A and B are shown apart, each in its own frame.
Chain A
Amino acid sequence: NAGVMQNPRHLVRRRGQEARLRCSPMKGHSHVYWYRQLPEEGLKFMVYLQKENIIDESGMPKERFSAEFPKEGPSILRIQQVVRGDSAAYFCASSPPGHQPQHFGDGTRLSIL
């Protein structure tokens, strides 16, 4: 029973490029959450999605960041025109509807040159 799958595990981008991070939830889970872990900091909530709906995006930066969870396929976190401050580990978690706990993937470590 596969867990939460994130890819790529490592992603290097130059300033100004776009970064796309993908997350496939656990089987049977229809809720996806994205968190960001900045160096030497804890994890901070970014966005909560269900299929085709953004439920809570209160933690998303107002510009350059977007997320989607289409009817088919993985959830995507998209960062446009990346800057050095976007360097972080981005974690995806999933859960069944209305249930806890959330199960986490291994993360994508984004480095900006």
Chain B
Amino acid sequence: AQSVTQLDSQVPVFEEAPVELRCNYSSSVSVYLFWYVQYPNQGLQLLLKYLSGSTLVKGINGFEAEFNKSQTSFHLRKPSVHISDTAEYFCAVIEVQGAQKLVFGQGTRLTINP
């Protein structure tokens, strides 16, 4: 079974500051990794994904994440945030071969202050 831990439930940041949202996972099998963003009263939008290849993946809206297999981490970063980045961010994993169900972390609420 897999588990995902998002270490920070809330992250307040000032506009134009850099941000890192942390995600660690546990799995006995190979997994794919994802970050989703959820704006208020909306569904989940895919920010980026790691399936294979380069461990540094770039996504939409200027976000990027780095897959670190030895540390079982997949932290999300953005060098300069905007007010519009205020949302809930979810890290998720899925088995490469096996059960096709996403396992989500608890989410991190990112609040951008002017």
A→B interface (CB under 8 Å): 4, 6, 31, 33, 35, 41-45, 48, 55-56, 58-59, 91, 93, 95, 100-107, 109
Contacts and interface: CB of A to CB of B under 8 A. Distances in A.
A66 to B, nearest CB: 18
B101 A56 contact: yes
Interface of B: 32, 34, 36, 41-46, 49, 51, 90, 94, 99-107
A100 B51 contact: yes
7 contacts: A35-B102, A43-B44, A55-B100, A91-B44, A101-B32, A106-B42, A106-B43
A58 B104 CA distance: 16
A24 B106 CA distance: 27
Given A31-B100, A91-B44, A104-B43, A43 B51 contact: no
Contact of A101 (B34, B42, B43, B90): B34
B104 A48 contact: no
A39 to B, nearest CB: 12
Nearest to B4: A42
A37 B105 CA distance: 12
A103 B45 CA distance: 7
Given A42-B106, A100-B32, A48 B100 contact: yes
Given A42-B90, A100-B32, A100-B51, A59 B101 contact: yes
Nearest to B88: A42
Given A42-B90, A42-B107, A106-B43, 9 more contacts: A43-B90, A45-B102, A56-B100, A56-B101, A100-B34, A100-B49, A104-B44, A104-B45, A105-B43
